[in-house]
Amino acid sequence: MSQVEKKTGLLRRTSSSKKPLKEKVVLMYDEIFAKEDPAKNNPRFWDELFLMKVNLEYLETKLETVDGEEVQKIQDNINSLFHHCVQALGEEHQIKVVNALQTLCALFRGVHQKNKSASGFDIINMLMGFDKAEQRMKDLMERLDSLLCGEGSESLKSLCLKLLLCLVTVTDNISQNTILEYVMINSIFEAILQILSDVSSRGQHGYDAVVLLALLVNYRKYESVNPYIVKLSIVDDEPTLDGMGMVVHHALTEYNRQYKDKEEENQGGFFSTLTSMVGSMFIADADEKLSVQTNEAILLALYEAVHLNRNFITVLAQSHPEMDIPTTPTTLTPTTPTTPLGTTPPSLDMMNNPELPLDPNLQTSNLLITFLKYASIVMQDTKDEHRLNSARLCLIILTCIAEDQYADAFLHDDNMNFRVNLHRMPMRHRKKAVDKNIPSRPLVCAVLDLMVEFIVTHMMKDFPMDLYLRCVQIIHKLLCYQKKCRIRLHYTWRELWSALINLLKFLLSNETTLLSKHNIFHLALLVVNLFNMFITYGDTFLPTSNSYDELYYEIVRMHQVFDNLYCMVLRVSTNTGQWKEPASKVTHALVNVRAIVNHFNPKIESYASVNHISQLSEEQVLEVVRSNYDTLTLKLQDGLDQFERYSEQPKEAAFFKELVRSISLNVRKNVSLNTLSQGVLLKEFSTIS
């Protein structure tokens, strides 16, 4: 093609004529989609092709519009294009590499778009040809691998990751993406790890790398052996794991910061509170404004790391100074999609700094603290599907953490004290503590606080039974650890007790509505057994002897709830029906609580009558409790300190499948290959070549 023509084409284009004249590259695409071998007339066709700026839209639409029969005819050309793309990746000329990467991306997308219904094999056949597929993909993965690990341009690496993300997310259900089988065979796991272990590359590509890893791990997770799972589970290189932790930490911090900013925006100054008050009369409520989109992809990555790799647990406690500083956008990522879920990383320049910054205002933080804060925000509102999923995932992660002994060890470490400012939902009946003067405590206190907070704030019609179960189980696991290791945590257990009693109360009062959807007896049983833990094993983990008295005080004070619960479960268990069995379990579990209530109530009443006091003070009740222990006999219950270990399969498999699907959709939507505009690349590479 002549230079003149190209020039005019360019000129016209810039003059924004309505009907775009065909660029040279488009003409070349057309040649490919013709039946003839494009290189037949022009032996330098492929060389030239990759020197042209890619027209993604055109190529993709072209691929989409090809119908079934044509496919057969042009398959050779497409195979050839694919082949030459892969070849071009090895070129020294970086422009060619960039164009080849983008072309490949368009190919993957276009082919999948077109063949939504087609089987993976057809797609592979169309792209590469069956006979050569293996070799082509091997070459591709090797090239990508060496690009990612080489000393080359950062933009190129970024583009490689985008291509991979694109490839991984072309199908809604990742497990149906047959091409990934080749990615399993030709692992790029090592390249991902290398990106994470290096400080500077982690800063720029860490986010994409982590998301990619999380997705790859979920490929046919339950059906086959996924080498990424295997490899991820045995990584023990600290810098790498740390790097992964840093990426997650940073993403979560970024989210927390955005949320905080929004929150402050809403509460800024007297006037704005006034207006928002007025405003909130008309607009739904504050929730809308405060919603920052959750980042499930990164949460999934955290989950996989915690769940699969036990070494990662140490990273949770790895402290970093809190990265609260508003980050300035880096110059290298000029146009980022604004959606936080996008795969473009929140500017990670803070992580590039290997030296800890010297800002005295920075609170030292660690991944776990940041995660807890994040969870506290996410759990505030579970109405939205995304947030519900996020909250569920958060609780699953916490379950894994609570089960891990090393994690428990540092959660309970008396020397590792932190102030964790959990976000609390503003509620009618309680004031939002403006000046949160939280004492510095072991981290487990923050976890318990979070659980108590959740229990207190989610007693609603649309009862999140699943989350409650997880929540109570987490508490139970922590108590088991404390009992086993005889750790006397200085925690205000009273708050937990009253929260649990309130939960029982709620279950009772909404029995009918809840029973239609949930097995409330299971939850009730877990709650009652928590009390049984305290009652029978309190001597091993309660901090003071007074706290044991207080436990009795609380039970006696709220005896009405337990009485009602007993009546209810007794009623249900005597009837025949589906709840007979679970309800009878609860009746048995209530034995000790009822013994306490029945033992102390008469004593207190007689004390009151003897002393002619109508309303006993707390101190007086405690006195009665203290003096009447010896005549009370309790029944030792089995298995109180046993729990069911978390296992992803089969219970959670469906959840994760769905989660991965939604993440895939989201990532696909946001993978922006155009991020790197040609101009930037030209600028960067003109100096090289």
Partner 1 sequence: MEDSEPEPPPSASSSHSLSLPSTPSSSSSSGDPPSAVPPPLGVIREALGELVINAEVAQRACREVLQQVKLNQGEEPQQMKLSKGEEPQQMKLNQGEEPQQMMLNQGEELQQLKLNQGEEPQQKKLNQGEEPQQMMLNQGEELQQLKLNQGEEPQQKKLNQGEEPQKKLNQGAEPQQMKLNQGEEPQQMKLNQGEEPQQMKLNQGEEPQWMTLNQGEEPQQMKLNQGEEPQHMNLNQGEEPQQMKRNQGEGPRHGEELQQMKLNQGEEPQQMKLTQGDEPQAPPAPPTVQVGDPEGPAPGSVKSLRRRQRHNPSKQSWLLRLFESKLFDVSMAISYLHSSKEPGVQAYIGNRLFSFSNDQVDFYLPQLLNMYIHMDEDVGDAIKPYVVHRCRQSIWFSLQCAWLLGAYSSDMHISTQRHSRGTKLRKLILSDELKPAGARGRRDPLTLMPFFPLAPPGHGAPEHSLSPSKRTHQRSKSDATVSISLSSNLKRTASNPRVESQDEPVRLAPQREFIKSLMGIGKRLATLPTKEQKTQRLISELSLLNHKLPARVWLPTAAFDHHVVRVPHTQAVVLNSKDKAPYLIYVEVLECESFETSSVPVRIPENRIRSTRSVENLPDCGMTAEQRAGSFSTVPNYDNDDEAWSVDDIGELQVELPEIHTSSCDNISQFSVDSITSLESKEPVFIAAGDIRRRLSEQLAVAPTTFKRDPEDPSAVALKEPWEEKVRRIREGSPYGHLPTWRLLSVIVKCGDDLRQELLAYQVLQQLKCIWQQERVPLWIQPYKILVLSSDSGMIEPVMNAVSLHQVKKQSQLSLLDYFLQEHGAPTTEKYLSAQRNFVQSCAGYSLICYLLQVKDRHNGNILLDADGHIIHIDFGFILSSSPKNLGFETSAFKLTNEFVDVMGGPDGDMFNYYRMLMLQGLIAARKHMDRVLQIVEIMQQGTQLPCFHGSSTLRGLKERFHMSLTEEQLQLLVDQLVDGSMRSITTKLYDGFQYLTNGIM
Interface of this chain with partner 1, residues 298 to 337, rule: CB under 8 A: 308-311, 313-314, 317-321
Rounded CA-CA distance 503/378 in Å is 21
121 Cβ neighbours under 8 A, 6+ residues apart? 130, 178
- Cα(378)–Cα(465) distance, rounded to whole angstroms? 17
By CB under 8 A, the residues from 471 to 500 that bind partner 1 are: 477, 480-481, 484, 488
Asked whether position 186 contacts partner 1 by CB under 8 A, the answer is: yes
- Contact between 574 and partner 1 (CB under 8 A)? no
If one asks whether residue 149 binds partner 1 (CB under 8 A), the answer comes out as: yes
- Structural Rg of the chain based on CA atoms: 31
Binding pattern for the stretch 527-566 against partner 1, x by CB under 8 A and - elsewhere? --x-----xx-xx--x-xx--xx-----------------
- Residues in the chain, total: 689
Residues 6+ apart with CB under 8 A from 488: 482, 541, 542, 543
Please give the single-letter amino acid code of residue 159: L
Least distance to partner 1 from the beta carbon of 219, Å? Answer: 12
User: Residue 130, interface with partner 1 (CB under 8 A)?
Assistant: no
Q: In the numeric block, which tokens belong to residue 108? A: 């993957």
Least spacing, CB of residue 480 vs partner 1, in Å: 5
Nearer to partner 1 by Cβ, of 7 and 588: the residue is 588
- Kindly tell me which of 46 and 600 has the beta carbon lying closer to partner 1: 600
Interaction of residue 466 with partner 1, rule CB under 8 A:
no
Write down the least CB distance from residue 514 to partner 1, Å: 21
Rounded distance, CA 317 to CA 443, Å? Answer: 10
Tell me how far, at minimum, the Cβ of 76 lies from partner 1, in Å: 23
Position among 10, 34, 230, 278 found at the interface with partner 1 (CB under 8 A): 230
Candidates 213, 217, 180, 218; CA nearest to 196 is 213
Site string for partner 1, 248-277 (x = CB under 8 A): ------------------------------
Q: Which one, 356 or 613, has the nearer CB to partner 1?
A: 356
Block residue for tokens 């029944």: 635
What phi and psi, each to the nearest 5 degrees, are found at residue 201? -70, -30
| Alpha-carbon span 165 to 403, nearest angstrom | 32
Q: Which residues contact 53 (CB under 8 A, 6 or more apart)?
A: 23, 25, 99, 678
584 binds partner 1 (CB under 8 A): yes
**Long-range pairs for 225-230: beta carbons < 8 A, 24 or more residues apart:** 226/184, 227/184, 227/187, 227/189, 228/184, 228/187, 228/189, 229/308
d(CA 102, CA 460): 49
CA 613-615-619 angle, to 5 degrees, is 95
Select 425 or 471, whichever has its Cβ closest to partner 1: 471
Site for partner 1 contains 288 (CB under 8 A): no
By beta-carbon proximity to partner 1, the closer residue of 438 and 608 is: 438
# of chain residues touching partner 1 (CB under 8 A): 110
By C-alpha distance, which of 66, 131, 139, 56 is closest to 99? Answer: 56
Rule CB under 8 A: say whether 125 interacts with partner 1. no
Q: Which of 58, 531, 643, 685 binds partner 1 (CB under 8 A)?
A: 643
Residues 74-113 that bind partner 1 (CB under 8 A): none
198 is a contact residue toward partner 1 (CB under 8 A): yes
**Contact between 437 and partner 1 (CB under 8 A)?**
no
Tell me the sheet residues that pair with 319.
366
Residue in 15, 16, 116, 225 binding partner 1, rule: CB under 8 A: 225
Kindly tell me which of 88 and 161 has the beta carbon lying closer to partner 1: 161
Compute the distance between CA of residue 155 and CA of residue 332 in angstroms, rounded to an integer: 8
What residues pair up with 366 in beta bridges, in sequence order? 319
3-state secondary structure of 484: helix
Shortest approach of partner 1 to residue 66 CB, angstroms? 25
Binding to partner 1 by residue 220, rule CB under 8 A? yes
Based on the shown chain and the rule CB under 8 A, indicate whether residue 396 belongs to the binding site for partner 1. Answer: no
Q: Does residue number 229 form part of the binding site for partner 1 (CB under 8 A)?
A: yes
Site for partner 1 in 359-378 (CB under 8 A): 360, 363-364, 366
On whether the CB atoms of residues 636 and 536 are closer than 8 A, the answer is yes
The nearest distance, CB 224 to partner 1, in angstroms, is 5
- What is the nearest approach in angstroms of partner 1 to the Cβ of residue 586? 9
C-beta contacts of 506-509 below 8 A and 24+ residues apart: 506/459, 507/565, 508/561, 508/564, 508/565, 508/568
| 233 or 276: CB nearest partner 1 | 233
Give the three-state DSSP class for 441: strand
Which range binds partner 1 by CB under 8 A, 99-107, 219-227, 275-283, 425-433? 219-227
User: If binding is defined by CB under 8 A, does position 639 make contact with partner 1?
Assistant: yes
Residue placing its CB nearer to partner 1 in the complex, 93 or 657: 657
| 656 is a contact residue toward partner 1 (CB under 8 A) | no
CB 391 within 8 A of CB 378: yes
